[in-house]
Amino acid sequence: MFKLTDLPYGASELEPVISAETIALHHGKHLATYVNNLNNLLPGSGMEGLTLEEIVTKATGGIFNNAGQILNHNLYFEQLQAPSDDNRPIGKIAQAIEEQFGSVDAFKEKFTAAAVTLFGSGWAWLASDSDGTLHILQLPNADNPVTQGLKPLMTMDVWEHAYYVDYRNRRPDHIAAMWSILNWKVIDSRYNG
């Protein structure tokens, strides 16, 4: 049985970038529903006891959709922290970003374009391959970089439920604000892990 993960911060700590109301809906309702759905679908599927990553690389249909969304949201919520204006990448991930994209600003521009132009519901990802090379991906719906053999490092959720309460249709404004609440310690440890 999978459980709804606890947030590593209080529901209002991400304000004003993400409101407590959005956290209550996004974590407390949307993610909780994916967890309940998956727990209802798994018995008899032959996938009981597998990790979310294992399920996502094997499953199709409803099991894939719900397991993928749990994995995606766990990665998303875990990599956030209270806003700070001078928030920047740190450690080896900072070095890799500078080497591969030229600068942090060039990386942010490229990632922002991926997040803003993703058609419909999905996720923009920073992922790494086995060489440590970084990749920016636009993946639809519940997909995750693990389905391509890549390690997910950082993600932004562009399903409307992630931003509609706070930003209405202004997805670019939401993405621009997200840079101030990324926890680069967590993202760097994923890169090094």
Q: How many residues belong to the site for Mn ion (CB under 5 A)?
A: 3
Q: C-beta of 97: minimal distance to Mn ion in Å?
A: 25
In angstroms, the CA 97 to CA 108 distance is: 10
State yes or no: residue 77 binds Mn ion (CB under 5 A).
no
3-state secondary structure the chain: CCCCCCCCCCCCCCCCCCCHHHHHHHHHHHHHHHHHHHHHHCCCCCCCCCCHHHHHHHCCHHHHHHHHHHHHHHHHHHCECCCCCCCCCCHHHHHHHHHHHCCHHHHHHHHHHHHHHCCCCEEEEEEECCCCCEEEEEEECCCCHHHHCCEEEEEEECCHHHCHHHHCCCHHHHHHHHHHHECHHHHHHHHHC
> Which 160-179 residues touch Mn ion, going by CB under 5 A?
162
Which position's Cβ is nearest Mn ion?
157
144 to 66, 100, 113: CA distances (angstroms): 12, 22, 18
73 vs 190 by CB, closer to Mn ion: 73
To the nearest whole angstrom, how small is the minimum distance from the Cβ of residue 158 to Mn ion? Answer: 9
Q: How near is the Cβ of 161 to Mn ion at its closest, in Å?
A: 5
CB of 157 to Mn ion, least distance (A): 4
Binding residue for Mn ion (CB under 5 A) from 38, 68, 157, 174?
157
Nearer to Mn ion, 89 or 122 (CB): 122
The residue within the footprint of Mn ion, chosen from 107, 159, 184, 191 (CB under 5 A), is: 159
Residue 187 CB, shortest distance to Mn ion, in Å, is 18
Stretch that binds Mn ion, among 10-18, 40-48, 158-166, 172-180 (CB under 5 A): 158-166
Cβ nearer to Mn ion, comparing 23 with 93: 23
Positions in the binding site for Mn ion (CB under 5 A): 157, 159, 162
